[in-house]
Structure 1
């Protein structure tokens, strides 16, 4: 399913032993613009919330436009290297530019502020514990990808961030035939989102991970409302569908729905949007559809209980120190946003455990997916809350409550890390392989747009 031209491009990806920082991405794109003045140009398209420039490299002069945005979520750095490699190959190879038929607009980092808060783990060691201790994910209304204007039923969002505004302007000025914002997951298998069915593209996407021994995701989708188009290929979820799903369960969607996403905004121009979600760690269980001896409902119930316990531990600590906090910390804003979502996820898992479909035997992949959902919540959100509390201590705000809950959370977090890393494969997927899969998906998506 991978044609010879695409295979040759995949083989062009160099080895990497670390992810690129914001400064390294900017420097790489600047060098390309300087060394290929007739082919590429670099321009500032916006600013971050803290005032850092957001740069876009435009390459080629094809009749169609393709828009690539890396690091819309700052804990997902594969895209920074993918953007650099894509830009490098397009600048160097006129035949590749002609073959794509596109003028390419490549933003190397959409969220420089948040990315800098993740750079502590970009050079490794690539363990789950080290990742979690240096992890940062912005609160929902501070994420580039989820702060596009949105209005539906009782939901309304118009607090567009400067970073999102930069991407909106690019979409409006280029009206791209193809767009990808470069994301990645953490664990499990590889999977893809596309904004409309393209069966020929599905086949290429499914074949790419296997070339590098990365399993296709066979566990639960990110949300039960997500529609499957093919094995490990999903229809990009619309916020309207998520709203309706939550409402049908009897919950209040207004508590969970924020802004829209880039693909929904670009849909007005007929844009084909693609997202490749790739894990950092290889786990064969992620693609194993064989049945286990446990009913799916039992797994969901156990997941609900562990998520609720996670919420209780973190919410207790955050509530206890709330009156003592002095720093305007993005880690605190993120904690206050994500912790209620952990409780909502527990309630949803418990509700799904009672459905008729949950009586069947679970698969190995579903069992692993349930476990990893719990581990991810603990390591991500526990790590961010610890960073917030340690930040207070670092500026001299060591009140008794902050000192006590920092110490207690450190102990609990160490146990969570040990549990997450015990008994499961922890083989780090080579960064080159991840970049190659993502690079291949970008070229394939543009070819089928």
Structure 2
């Protein structure tokens, strides 16, 4: 692997094994669990200190490739540092991919071409219930958790890490970090790195609309009892790890959208949000219609792709409830000041969700209408945001630098 392309899950494992051979006294590779399909969940440990850091790659299957590359970059860096005799008493633990079953479904794209159309031709992301970072809700038995989730929670409770880093990525947008506790100094560090690599910072992420932002591209999770603001994060392994230390969710984009960093006021946010909401409510039903039409061909069959498509089309009416003026409840939490960055984040989201649903449906059934929707929506995506490809090496460098910045600024 040269850094010009993403590694497969097998290549990440190979890279980890090579590190254990190069640094046998510093590196150890072990199995911490099994996936639903029986694949080993592997963890690479670098260093022998008593203060633990955990880095988790692949919590979302479509984001596993950049996370795997970042894990290898960080592990090699830390091993080389320890070999030189620089040891701060920490041990770094890298879960190479927490969802290998999902990651392999995205792998046909990893060798390129790196275009939006090619990306969505091979796209997969599991439904929420099959994503390893989400914990069972109150009242649900612990046994209901995925085996990957149980493995991750077990590692957290065993290591009690002072820092957990969850490696994520987005298709179009900017780079940002979400923290469970504020860490002063991080905004300056990631801003400097992003500027050097020509990657915009996400200044209005729809993932963290109600979260305070202490600086550009950084968001801090509200207290866990504020479930409205925290959202899904309240029932996540990020929240679980609060008892031990800080969690950082580190996002990097594949394609940069410079509007994601534009904090100037949007000229007409209400109209823009109405248009985005209407488009989402228009496009998802088109996918739902095709799904109903081909149901007899599926013969009651089920698969991970189909479960996600069904979830997305069923959630459609609720996906705009927090921000679309046409459907927002009167008692809904007020929106923050709507900058160009915040409106852009919502607009990207409104286009991304139907595109994902159509792309995954196309992988199940080769229906001309679905193929046309994917082609048209990919083209519309590109026209709307003029995304520019960020080289894989730069994506990895920004993610790795962000992890190091959080760790060093914690002064642990």
Judge same fold: TM > 0.5, yes or no. yes
Q: Flag the 1:157–1:199 CA change in 2: closer, same or farther, 3 A.
A: farther
Equivalence for 2:392: 431
1:347 equivalent in structure 2: 321
SS of the residue 1:132 aligns to: helix
- 5 Å-filtered alignment, 1:96-107, equals 98-107=86-95
Alignment of 1:41-52 (within 5 A): 41-52=28-39
- Asked if 1:69 corresponds to 2:25, the answer is no
Using a 3 Å threshold, how does the CA distance of structure 1 residues 97 and 105 change in structure 2: closer, same or farther?
farther
Q: TM-score under structure 1 normalisation?
A: 0.83
Find out whether 1:88 has 2:55 as its counterpart.
no
1-side partners of 2:124 and 2:26: how far apart? 36
- Contact 2:172-2:387 at 8 Å conserved across structures: no
Q: Give the direction of change, closer, same or farther, for the CA distance of 1:203–1:138 in structure 2 (3 Å limit).
A: same
User: Who is 1:368 aligned against?
Assistant: 344
The worse-fitting range, judged by mean Cα deviation, of 220-229 and 308-317 is 220-229
RMSD: 2.6
**What is the aligned partner in structure 2 of residue 308 from structure 1?**
281
Q: After superposition, give the CA deviation of every residue in 1:1-52 in whole Å (9 maximum; x if it has no partner).
A: xxxxxxxxxxxxx962211111101111112113322111111111111001
CA separation in 2, counterparts of 1:321 and 1:157? 35
Candidates 230, 254, 263, aligned match of 2:238: 263
Q: Report if the CA contact (8 A) 2:273-2:347 is conserved.
A: no
Q: 1:157, CA displacement in angstroms?
A: 6.5
Q: 1:183 aligns with which of 168, 179, 190?
A: 168
5+ residue gaps in structure 1? 1-13, 247-255, 391-405
Question: 1:135 pairs with 112, 120, 123, which one?
Answer: 123
Check if 1:230 corresponds to 2:230. no
Taking a change above 3 Å as real, the CA distance of residues 353 and 199 of structure 1, as seen in their structure-2 partners, is farther
- Superposed displacement of residue 331, structure 1: 0.6
Q: Relative to structure 1, is the Cα distance of residues 363 and 224 closer, same or farther in structure 2, using a 3 angstrom cutoff?
A: closer
Q: Deviations over 1:79-122 (max 9, x none)?
A: 10010111112222326773543111111111110000011211
d(CA) in 1 for partners of 2:208, 2:327: 15
The TM-score with structure 2 as length reference comes to: 0.90
Give the distance between the partners of 1:184 and 1:437, measured in 2 at CA: 11
